[in-house]
Amino acid sequence: MRPFTYERATDARAAVAAVSRPGAKFISGGTNLLDLMKLEIERPDHLVDISRLPLADIEELPDGGLRIGAQAANSDVAADARVRSGYPVLAQALVAGASGQLRNMASVGGNLLQRTRCPYFYDTDSGCNKRDPGSGCDAIGGVNRMHAILGASDSCIATHPSDMAVAMTALEARIELLGADRSVRTVAIGDFYRLPGDTPHIETVLRPEEMVTGIVLPPPPPGGQLYRKVRDRASYEFALVSVAAIVSTDGETGDGGTGTIADARVAFGGVAHKPWRSFAAEDSLRDRPATMATYRAAAEAAMRDAVGQGGNDFKIELAKRTLCRTLDEAARAARTAQERSGRDEGDHGTS
């Protein structure tokens, strides 16, 4: 590890001012950055510690949504009763994302900004345009079992590693940013991440010296929510494919009725350079019966543009099957909630 200097920021504005010096980087939990520094992939000259800033609160908003401070620990967010009841897909994704020890250390803001786990990115003897622009992508034509099937380019086929960001994509979260000039802006998570194109080393729309200060979740969407993660081992591992699904149904639900899908949101992880929102799948689900045939059609729509790289060809079919199973369970959860609500209304009417 190379020598570096360190300071602990006293407030958010001081932090963005401190990181404006050349070679400076923010550090919070450090669960990703310190590993990258040890491998000399990241080489900051100066670290600005933002872990003690008062940005860890989880606050209810007047419209019924939640604001999660960027320094909130992943474990605290996953355990929050308001998150578990209103945004279970987020709680599930956080628990699936890492061990308890890592969740205790990792911040929500850091989770959003973690780097890819592509082995060629970590191997400094390999060509990697994300680590060393212009050096090539050795994953193309190499060992690429974990790599992207959607949104990739000739410059990079790496995937984004976050589980939390996939769930937040389905929830249509917004990210609050503070700039060095004290300007504040909010970016929809769907616009926050970039596809690789010719510049895979530029991963987000975050401007130099900007800092993530919080994440805003809209009011909980109606319907059933589910996060499913498929990985090589049941213990903590990055996703081969993951799906965050939110499904609401209406119409007949009793006596074997499946109901009609009123609305649906679908986001994939492990398949692209960013959390992948599948609007094609969503369009094919709305106003259709909540049946496996509908889910299969949505899966085909979602993977219509998928391209394998040889070692990861299997992920296309895996993504389809994972989506079908996740949609089925989310729709069942929606119907169960709908039936429970109907019974409760009936009980109140007869009391």
In this prediction, residue 254 has a pLDDT band, given cuts at 50, 70 and 90, of very low
Q: 29-65: per-residue pLDDT in tens?
A: 999 999 999 999 999 999 999 999 999 999 999 999 9
Q: What is the mean pLDDT of residues 296-310?
A: 98
Q: What is the mean pLDDT of residues 166-193?
A: 96
Q: How far apart are CA 150 and CA 334, in angstroms?
A: 29
Q: Which of 26-35, 203-212, 255-264, 315-324 has the lowest mean pLDDT?
A: 255-264
pLDDT at 163: 97
Closest CA to 109 of 221, 227, 30, 5: 30
Q: 97-149: per-residue pLDDT in tens?
A: 988 888 999 999 999 999 999 999 999 999 999 999 999 999 999 999 999 99
Say how many C-beta atoms besides its own lie within 10 A of residue 114's C-beta.
Answer: 19
Q: What is the mean pLDDT of residues 284-309?
A: 98
Q: Are 126 and 114 in contact (CB under 8 A)?
A: no
In this prediction, residue 236 has a pLDDT band, given cuts at 50, 70 and 90, of confident
H/E run at residue 78: helix 74-79
Q: How far apart are CA 200 and CA 30, in angstroms?
A: 22
Q: What is the mean pLDDT of the chain?
A: 94
The position carrying tokens 């006596």 is: 255
Q: 6-27: per-residue pLDDT in tens?
A: 999 999 999 999 999 999 999 9
Count of H-run helices and E-run strands, the chain:
13, 12
First to last CA, the chain: 70
From its phi and psi, is residue 304 left (phi > 0), alpha (psi between -120 and 50) or beta?
Answer: alpha
pTM for the model stands at 0.94
Q: 143-166: per-residue pLDDT in tens?
A: 999 999 999 999 999 999 999 999
- Say which residue, 351 or 311, is predicted with more confidence: 311
Say how many C-beta atoms besides its own lie within 10 A of residue 87's C-beta.
Answer: 27
pLDDT at 255: 42
pLDDT at 108: 97
In this prediction, residue 235 has a pLDDT band, given cuts at 50, 70 and 90, of confident
Is a pLDDT exceeding 70 seen at residue 266? yes
Q: Which two structure tokens, joined as six digits, stand for 309? A: 């790289």
Is a pLDDT exceeding 80 seen at residue 349? no
Say how many C-beta atoms besides its own lie within 10 A of residue 311's C-beta.
Answer: 15
Is a pLDDT exceeding 60 seen at residue 198? yes
Q: What is the mean pLDDT of residues 236-244?
A: 95
pLDDT at 37: 95
Q: 65-105: per-residue pLDDT in tens?
A: 999 999 999 999 999 999 999 999 999 999 999 888 889 99
pLDDT at 342: 59
H/E run at residue 246: strand 241-250
Closest CA to 289 of 247, 237, 346, 319: 247
Is a pLDDT exceeding 50 seen at residue 258? yes
Closest CA to 65 of 185, 214, 220: 220
pLDDT at 181: 87
